[in-house]
Amino acid sequence: MILGACVTSKKSSGFSLIELAIVMTIVGLFVATAAQTYNLYTKRTATNSTLEKKNSIEIALGKFMSVNGRLPCPADPALPVGDANAGRENCRPDDVAYPTLACNATNSLCRIEGARSFVFPATGTTVQGTVPANTGPERVLRGAVPYATLGLAPREAYDGWGSMFTYAVTEMLSSSFFLSQGGTTNNCVEVCGTANEGANLTLNAGAGRVFTDVIYASYGTPTGSCAGFTNSACHASTSTDTVRTAFQGLASRTYAASNGNFGDPCSGTFKRLSVIMRACEATASVSFNEANGAIDHRRWDDATSTDIKRRNPNVIVGGFQAFDSWMLAVVSHGPDRKGGWNAQGQMPIPCTGAGRDVINCTMSSSTFIDQTYVSTAPGATFYDDTFVSTSPIRESDKWHFSTISAIRNKEGTMVGIGTDTPGMALDVVGAVRAMDSESTTYCDQNGGSCFEPRIIGGTGIECPGGWMKGIVSGAAVCESKVSTTSIVSGVGSCAAGSYLVGFCANGSRLCKIPGGADPVCP
């Protein structure tokens, strides 16, 4: 007997190194493609969101200008969302008097020198708004979009990358007045008042005067009287800015002393509001004029490989479009967020380093660079900002912004969409989509054959003893029931050469001769 050995072999399961390398390469290609697609998607989404918000801001600026006759001052971006003064315009950075150049303590709200000078009118000129009667450089205010003042939600003031839009505006066009700090030539007086928490404070500047500045303001538990107040430990830091925004430039104002307006500096403590305002007469003034803009807007020029000044087509000086005459600038700081403030009132990425876009976040600059040339390569030409606006969307001579977020036609004439010759109040050539519509009457294109929708809805249909077979000019066309008894009793056929087409209510037959007139019931 021969004994033999039985040998079995096993094939190793799993991947070899070569197979694993092939799999990893394929996975890597898929991951890289997916990552690139995702990056493009997020970039496109952020850009589209930024442009949509740009439109909202431009429309809100136009509505504000239409109602107030001026542009708003910037807000302080260092105030976090939820602060009582967050998103509210502040026309006096750090309480400095015009025309002093200064920033507030956080360097987030500044009055800076404009790109050009303005010759102020002579003393005694009286139009809307007042300015010192001298010659000097125009001022520009820089800060953030005043979303609360514009009636926008906080999210509308932040771009697609989470940074607050920078907003700069020519001060001449944003303040309804410019006055020096008191003096007998302005015939200034002090106006004082106090109101308990929950009550209203009413101040009147007096005949011919407006409130020009805040001498003292405290919401909390201030001590003293109009002869002199003193802050206590319970004092709202927003007091001065809030009172200035509420009263400055007005002849009179009533304002609530409440936590809603100032925040709560000491919970559980009964508070009051004490205010001393300066009120002055105007010495010189100017009306709102876009030509007074003092912002420099620049674009990349391929011929010189530099950013050059843009002319403002709306401002003509000496027969030419003017330089350095832009009213405002609204800027998104782009994906790198350099110089942008977040919703917590912080600047995560400081405005430092090289690159063309650094000029857009430099608080001391009244020059802004547009997005005509974008470069993500590190160095002097780096630029990823989105320069979104240089002017508001303003009402025209035919259209007006209403106070209910709508527009109306001033002339009361016919409006055509797709036609230059409208034949009615709104004449649309093409399809109209209405998600919801309400009307008391519907008519044909000539204004006739009208009927009321309530008839279709079931009310207003009256056909006693019968049923409705149609609607003509808003009224139901009824048909009476046929008397089957009469039909039975009158059994017979139509005359020779005619045929039956129906029955009448009395049971009689309706017979028609071919080619003849339709028979009519008696």
| pLDDT tens profile 467-522 | 777 777 667 777 776 666 656 555 557 888 888 888 777 777 888 888 888 888 87
Does residue 459 carry a pLDDT above 70? no
**Bridge partners of residue 312, in order along the sequence:** 322
Token readout for 227 is: 């002869």
Bigger pLDDT: 499 vs 249: 499
Closest to 147 in 3D by CA, of 51, 84, 246, 75 = 75
What is residue 133's predicted lDDT score, i.e. its pLDDT?
Answer: 37
Q: What is the mean pLDDT of the chain?
A: 79
Q: Could you give the domains of the chain? A: 48-68+291-389 (no CATH), 93-147+168-281 (2.60.120.740), 456-512 (no CATH)
Average pLDDT of span 102-124? 77
**Burial bucket for residue 486 (CB in 10 Å: 0-12, 13-18, 19+):** middle
The residues, any chain, with a CB within 8 Å of residue 191's CB and separated by 6 or more, are 203, 204, 205, 206, 211, 276, 277, 278, 279
Distance from C-alpha of 490 to C-alpha of 484, rounded to nearest angstrom: 10
Q: What is the pLDDT of residues 328-379, one digit of tens each?
A: 999 999 999 999 999 999 999 999 998 999 999 999 999 999 877 778 888 8
Average pLDDT of span 171-188? 55
What is residue 254's predicted lDDT score, i.e. its pLDDT?
Answer: 94
Give the pLDDT band of residue 197 (cuts 50, 70, 90): very high
What is residue 397's predicted lDDT score, i.e. its pLDDT?
Answer: 60
With residue 313 as reference, give the H or E element that holds it: strand 312-317
Token readout for 476 is: 């139901």
Q: What is the pTM of this model?
A: 0.57
What is residue 329's predicted lDDT score, i.e. its pLDDT?
Answer: 95
Q: What is the pLDDT of residues 6-56, one digit of tens each?
A: 555 555 556 677 777 777 877 777 666 666 665 666 778 888 889 889 888
Q: How far is CA 110 from CA 15, 56, 366, in A?
A: 66, 24, 11
Does residue 452 carry a pLDDT above 80? no
What is residue 126's predicted lDDT score, i.e. its pLDDT?
Answer: 38
What is residue 159's predicted lDDT score, i.e. its pLDDT?
Answer: 95
Range with the largest mean pLDDT of 99-113, 149-163, 424-438? 149-163
Distance from C-alpha of 425 to C-alpha of 445, rounded to nearest angstrom: 12
Task: Evaluate whether 66 touches 348 at the Cβ level (below 8 Å).
Answer: no
Bigger pLDDT: 384 vs 35: 384
What is residue 392's predicted lDDT score, i.e. its pLDDT?
Answer: 84
Closest to 297 in 3D by CA, of 140, 92, 136 = 140
What is residue 184's predicted lDDT score, i.e. its pLDDT?
Answer: 37
Q: What is the pLDDT of residues 211-222, one digit of tens each?
A: 877 889 999 999
Average pLDDT of span 300-326? 84
Does residue 117 carry a pLDDT above 90? no
What is residue 418's predicted lDDT score, i.e. its pLDDT?
Answer: 84
Average pLDDT of span 161-188? 69
Average pLDDT of span 441-449? 74
What is residue 401's predicted lDDT score, i.e. its pLDDT?
Answer: 60
Average pLDDT of span 115-124? 58
Average pLDDT of span 224-233? 89
3-state secondary structure 166-230: EEEEEHHHHCCCCCCCCCHHHCCEEEEEEEECCCEEEEECCCCEEEEEEEEEEEECCEEECCEEE
Does residue 3 carry a pLDDT above 80? no
> Which residue bears the tokens 């690139």?
36
Average pLDDT of span 113-118? 78
